[in-house]
Amino acid sequence: MKTVELTANELTVDKKGLWEYRKMVIREFLKNRLAVLGFIITSLMIVIAIFGPLFTSASPYEMNAVQRLEAPSTVHVFGTDTLGRDLFTRVIYGLRVSMVVGFMTALASCILGIVLGLLSGYFSFLDDVIMRICDGLMAIPAILMAIVMMASLGPTIVDVIFSLVVVYTPRVARIARAMTLSVKEQTYIEAIQALGASWPRILFFHIAPNILSPVIVQTTYIFASSIIIEAALSFLGAGVPAPDPSLGNILFDAKGVIFKSWWMTAFPGAFMMLTVFGVNIFGDGLRDLLDPLSN
């Protein structure tokens, strides 16, 4: 029997091959101009959220009754709000809060959803139970579910994130489960099982990496949706509590003065729309990249 021996050179070619593959994937992504736009917008928003406070010397809490509801000017670039706070600063901090809520929700529901989906797909006795509960949770429309949870838990940012995670985890779990079901039938999984690997190892080292693609796409959509739902919650008064700004509760303040002060609605609204738009088209681009069959 002829044995094949890999010299150091040949191993290096393999590594180069992986790098070539990655470059090809990136090139493919760059061809999709809309997706690139989404990536740029999203990164811009992230940068603003992280570094924005450096650009403004004002505080988002500093009230000034004399300067209430001033139109945009050179001093207050976006104008002031109902309590005389600088709107530009509040929008920046609000964007930061919205991004944090979105990111934490997406991350937590991604991890929880993957774990639940893996367990559900791999162990059929768990499947029925877990999926029934997920169906029940998903039967309740997202905003209603979030409202009910906030009514029970009380108004803090952490509770908002927790409520949203409860809303979105079932959706991730569904996808992870579907992928697990198909991946576990593959021969290489059978082989590892025959070799006596423990189930945590099989699930997390071997199946998990192969179910990631659609899960990641769904997670980007969840990031976008949770920004919207957090804003809706705050808009109804059931989200991030005053005086902490969030894009939603600035709009809540704007509700009463919408006739007089268009800037209070326009600026947070525009930022929210732009962020969600960017994340959504980026997510579409990711989906086109990872699953070219769905046009």
- Site residues, another protein (CB under 8 A): 34, 132-133, 135-137, 139-145, 147-154, 224, 228, 231-232, 235-238, 251, 254-255, 258-259, 262, 265-266, 269, 272-273, 276-277, 280-281, 284, 294-295
Residues written for the chain: 295
Closest separation between CB of residue 18 and another protein, Å?
33
* Residue with smaller CB distance to another protein, 87 or 281: 281
Closest separation between CB of residue 166 and another protein, Å?
9
* Residue with smaller CB distance to another protein, 22 or 33: 33
90 CB contacts (<8 Å, ≥6 apart)?
60, 81, 245, 250
* Residue with smaller CB distance to another protein, 207 or 229: 229
Residue 66 has phi, psi (to 5 degrees) of: -65, -35
Distances in Å between the alpha carbon of 37 and those of 49, 79, 148? 18, 29, 36
Is the Cα dihedral 133, 136, 139, 143 positive or negative? negative
Residue 8 has phi, psi (to 5 degrees) of: -55, -40
Q: Where are the alpha helices (DSSP H) in 87-156?
A: 87-122, 124-138, 142-153
* Residue with smaller CB distance to another protein, 203 or 229: 229
For residue 241, count other CB atoms closer than 10 A to its CB. 16
Residue 213 Ramachandran class (φ > 0 left, ψ -120 to 50 alpha, else beta): alpha
Closest separation between CB of residue 221 and another protein, Å?
9
Closest separation between CB of residue 160 and another protein, Å?
14
225 CB contacts (<8 Å, ≥6 apart)?
142, 168
Closest separation between CB of residue 89 and another protein, Å?
21
Closest separation between CB of residue 4 and another protein, Å?
44
* Residue with smaller CB distance to another protein, 13 or 44: 44
CA–CA separation, 183 and 181 (whole Å)? 6
* Residue with smaller CB distance to another protein, 58 or 149: 149
* Residue with smaller CB distance to another protein, 26 or 34: 34
Closest separation between CB of residue 146 and another protein, Å?
9
